[in-house]
Every structure is written in structure tokens, then in C-alpha cells.
Structure 1
Amino acid sequence: MENELILNKLNRIEKFIFGLKNILNVEELCEYTGFKKSFIYKLVHQRKIPYSKPNGKVLFFERKKIDNWLLQNSHKTQAEIKQEAFSFKRKNKEKF
């Protein structure tokens, strides 16, 4: 039981350290995103994920670009939509 607790703490520390790194390799990106390695390579092959290949072989990923990529195409909550509608209606009240 104590070993399991230690392993859990080590995993949390490792994830925290990945969050501090600016440049990730494929293995680190898999840990960071939870994606499988084959899926990462598929995304690279399809040019759907931002990456660098400085020496022509090894892939590197900039964490900030990955974060932006992961958060693209976000959807608003119903509360956000209602707030925008209310603001729009209030702003354009004299037009209607």
C-alpha cells in the first residue's frame, strides 16, 4: 500500500514536470496529452498537429502550441451563449 502511494506521488510530480517543459518529445507528448504514440504519429503524418523536425528524424512539440491546438474548436456553454444574447440585445435595444 505504501509503495502504491509513493508511485502515485511520483506520477503526479512527473506530470507537473512535463507541464514545466517547453519542448516535448513524442513520449512526453503521449504522457502530456494521454494520446497513444501511434495516434501522435498519425496526426503528424496528416499535418494536423504542430511539430518540429530539426534534424529530419526526431519530432519535437512546443507545449504552448500543443495547448492551443488542444483547445481549438471550443464550444461555448449555454450560460455563455445566454450572456452573449443578453449583451447583444441590450446593446442593440434601440435598433429593434
Structure 2
Amino acid sequence: MRENNHQNIPNAQLIMQKEILSFKEALVYLDVSESFLYKLTAKKAIEFTKPNGGKIYFSKENLNNWMLSNTSQSKKTLETEILEHLKKNQKCRED
């Protein structure tokens, strides 16, 4: 994990057990900088809660969804999908 300049770096094992994370815990979980996470929240690119207008909290499910939101398929998977599509189109033309 990236080194943070925080005095009280949250314990990674404790983070893994929790469902709701504080801002500092989310930094450790995502392994991103403080400024990057603030930018994501400002752009509303990542879901968060702010009870009573106070501290920012994140659900791990939302953080996981964000991390997996821009999946890149392997070359092999793309080739297989193209071949299947071509075969399907070939059958449609023959019918």
C-alpha cells in the first residue's frame, strides 16, 4: 500500500472487516491520494455519504464497484467475442 502522511493510518485488517469506511480508511483501501479521492467526491464520480453535513463515509460495495467500473477485456476475450458475432451473422445470412 502507498505510504500516507497521516499520523493515524487505519489498520488494514480492521478496514477489511468493516462495511462502511471513513475518508482515511477509504484512502488506504483504494490506495489513492487524498487529493484524488477529494476530486472523485467533488465530481460525484464515486458514491459517498455525508451524515449531517459532516465527515465523508463510503460503503465498501460502492468503492469496489468504482474500482471495477472500467474493466478492460483481454485480447483473447475480444477475439472470441468477435468470432462468435461473425458466426452468428453468418448463420443469419444463410437462413
Is 1:84 the counterpart of 2:81 in the alignment?
yes
- TM superposition score normalised by structure 2: 0.75
Structure 2 residue ranges without an equivalent (≥5): 1-10
Is 1:55 the counterpart of 2:52 in the alignment?
yes
Q: Displacement of 1:94 after TM fit?
A: 1.9
Distance 2:53 2:14 in 1: 27
Task: Indicate the RMSD between aligned Cα atoms, in angstroms.
Answer: 1.6
- TM superposition score normalised by structure 1: 0.75
More off after superposition, 78-87 vs 37-46:
37-46
Structure 1 residue ranges without an equivalent (≥5): 1-13
After superposition, give the CA deviation of every residue in 1:16-71 in whole Å (9 maximum; x if it has no partner): 44233110001100100111122212221222211000121110001101111111
Distance 1:42 1:94 in 2: 49
Distance 1:46 1:57 in 2: 18
Q: Which residue of 2 aligns with 1:7?
A: none
SS in 1 for 2:70: coil
More helix by share: 1
Number of positions where the alignment pairs a residue of Structure 1 with one of Structure 2: 83
